[in-house]
Structure 1
Amino acid sequence: MFRADLFKGKRILVTGGGTGLGKAMAGRLMELGAELHICGRREGVLKDTAAELAGRTGGRIFTWPCDIRVAAAVDEMIGRIWQDHGPLDSLVNNAAGNFIAKTEDLSPRGFDAIANIVLHGSFYVTQATGKRWIAAGRGGSVVSIVTTWVWTGSAFVIPSAMSKAGIAAMTQSLAVEWGPKGIRLNAIAPGPFPTEGMTKRLAPTEELERRMIGAIPMRRVGNLEELANLAAFLLADDVGYITGEVIAIDGGQWLNGAGGFGALTELSDADWQQIRTAIEATNAKDRAQRTV
């Protein structure tokens, strides 16, 4: 389905589109014919990314310096896109932040630093876009980037876990509320992907990175192209009956953690032999006791 003109004539906004996952998705959507709009707080980063992606894809891309933590700034940005370029067709809520910390050590400012971007910012952009679609009688599609923590929670990243769960709830709630208006909302829950944010803030040491990859059944991190293709798939009109879904793309990581024995995949053959011997000894002891 990834034909070159898949998004021809479509206008798409990617928040946090200057780096990482947002940049990867923006580039892929441009390759598929979309007119891209990216926003973020660092104007220089946005312009550098726009120049790079335009040179690589030959597509049209526009930058919007904006702090999505500020509702009024978001509404102004969306209004200017509508006025200067025309209505958006799709939105990708990607802007985020995260760090690992013991919850008892978190300050209110530290909590708000994540929640204001992830939860509040995503809502502000979604509402500002959605209300314009509704007023104009237009349909649209939203894809939000969450995490698999929306199903399980996660220790040591409480601000992100709480905020991403809120976005998942928004996705499912608005899929019902705005469905009759032709607006679809879905979410992607990525596992580890090789970005600067993941490496520096979530796996800052080689040992943490090793443990993280060891917990992934496919024994690798994701490729950015895989995530970008999933986002393109969910935004496409070709799958217009999909809404309210949260789809994991994590190499099986969250399923591995959901059970009680996923860590056993790291055991060697010698370890398993030792386990079998211990179990057989326990079974033999139980049989002997039953015959007494």
Structure 2
Amino acid sequence: MNDATGGSDLASVASIFRPGLLDGQVALVTGGGTGIGLGISQLLAELGAHVVMASRKPANLEAARADIESRGGKVSAVQLDVRDPEQVKAAVDGIAQQLGRIDVLVNNAAGNFYAPSATLSPNAWKSVVEIDLYGTFYCSQAVYPIMAAQGGGRIVSTSMTLHYRGWPMMAHATAAKAGVDALTRTLAVEWAPQRIRVNAIAPGPIPTEGVRKAFTPPADSGVPDVFAAADARMAEYAKKGIPLGRWGSPRDIANMVAFLASPAGDWITGSIFVIDGGEWLAKAPS
């Protein structure tokens, strides 16, 4: 069942995957404690994977871990700043030593906010590019020797759709995510001999609490604030601005990650999958 603002009914969507599909696999999800990352963590755990959620904020991890454990899932949590390559390597090596392998890496950690390009501070630029792009590379590089030694693995990185058409006041994020797309294609070709499949997902508008906060533009910017609107207005935007007529949900994105992590993704690498109900094709930004 779908609705204009809330996305898909979780039970009906989850049933498309075979129970135990990912039994025995270990999946590391950065930014895995909230929003889209939590949706991915939940679904991979439901399908039998041991999910390791990583985040800079331990409070987010504890709540998410309790939720997944209450559903019978296997889950661990690790505090991790993906901007620190030494910390990333230590965490990845620790996971592999404890659990024996890493089959899936989901590079989901991100930091985005509206800021005018003309006055964007060096620290603001650096922070977003380091989380979104550097973090994706550091984590991918850290899992490479583990996946290569075990005969393969899956890397799924989170991109976005805004850089496909240009988006005002998001220069830092769009530049970083364009880099994620390029990195995805390069690593896919370079690491194919090791049977490491490298793909990316580009979510469209998913109104999680984190997105609502990060993508709320300044009041005097002239940029429409669609997320802060009332439910009725959000439903109207979904009807007019998203061809499929509804907002997305974290489970919509998680479905593609699960597909790529499954045997169905064996011959897919170097692809960026847009998952946005057709929104990026509908119109250019104001």
Q: Normalised by the size of structure 1, how large is the TM-score?
A: 0.83
* Structure of higher CA gyration radius: 1
Which position in structure 2 is the counterpart of 1:159? 172
1:138 aligns with 2:155: no
| Residue pair 2:248, 2:276 contacting (<8 A) in 1 also | yes
Q: 2:247 pairs with 217, 221, 228, which one?
A: 221
Q: 2:74 pairs with 55, 60, 71, which one?
A: 60
Which position in structure 1 is the counterpart of 2:139? 125
Q: Return the offset for 1:137.
A: 4.8
Q: Return the offset for 1:207.
A: 5.5
Which position in structure 2 is the counterpart of 1:149? 162
Q: Return the offset for 1:238.
A: 2.4
Tell me the SS of whatever aligns to 1:189. Answer: strand
Q: Return the offset for 1:151.
A: 2.7
| Residue pair 1:149, 1:165 contacting (<8 A) in 2 also | no
Tell me the SS of whatever aligns to 1:178. Answer: helix
Q: Normalised by the size of structure 2, how large is the TM-score?
A: 0.85
1:197 & 1:157 partners in 2: Cα distance?
16
Deviations 1:105-157 (A, max 9, x none): 100011111111111111100000013222x1520001111001343332211
Deviates further, 75-84 or 43-52: 43-52
Q: Return the offset for 1:84.
A: 1.2
Q: Return the offset for 1:237.
A: 1.8
Paired amino acid for 2:266 = G
Q: 1:241 pairs with 267, 270, 276, which one?
A: 267
Equivalent pairs: percent with the same residue? Answer: 40
Which position in structure 1 is the counterpart of 2:107? 93
Which position in structure 2 is the counterpart of 1:44? 59
Paired amino acid for 2:46 = E
Tell me the SS of whatever aligns to 1:36. Answer: strand
Which position in structure 1 is the counterpart of 2:45? 30
1:18 & 1:172 partners in 2: Cα distance?
27
1:12 aligns with 2:27: yes
1:99 & 1:215 partners in 2: Cα distance?
21
| TM alignment of 1:63-74, pairs within 5 A | 63-74=77-88
- Name stretches of at least 5 consecutive residues in structure 2 with no aligned partner: 1-15, 227-232
- Name stretches of at least 5 consecutive residues in structure 1 with no aligned partner: 264-292
Count residues with an aligned counterpart: 258
Deviates further, 223-232 or 69-78: 223-232
| Residue pair 2:101, 2:150 contacting (<8 A) in 1 also | no
1:44 & 1:203 partners in 2: Cα distance?
23
1:108 aligns with 2:122: yes
| Residue pair 1:174, 1:185 contacting (<8 A) in 2 also | yes
Q: Which one has more relative contact order, counting CA pairs under 8 Å at least 6 apart?
A: 2
| Residue pair 1:41, 1:65 contacting (<8 A) in 2 also | yes
| Residue pair 1:68, 1:74 contacting (<8 A) in 2 also | yes
Tell me the SS of whatever aligns to 2:111. Answer: coil
1:235 & 1:10 partners in 2: Cα distance?
9
Tell me the SS of whatever aligns to 2:283. Answer: helix
Deviations 1:24-43 (A, max 9, x none): 00001111111100101111
1:137 & 1:218 partners in 2: Cα distance?
41
| Residue pair 2:51, 2:74 contacting (<8 A) in 1 also | yes
| Residue pair 1:190, 1:248 contacting (<8 A) in 2 also | yes
Deviations 1:34-83 (A, max 9, x none): 11001011112211110111102x01100010111100000000010111
2:179 & 2:61 partners in 1: Cα distance?
27
| TM alignment of 1:68-87, pairs within 5 A | 68-87=82-101
Q: 2:225 pairs with 190, 205, 208, which one?
A: 208
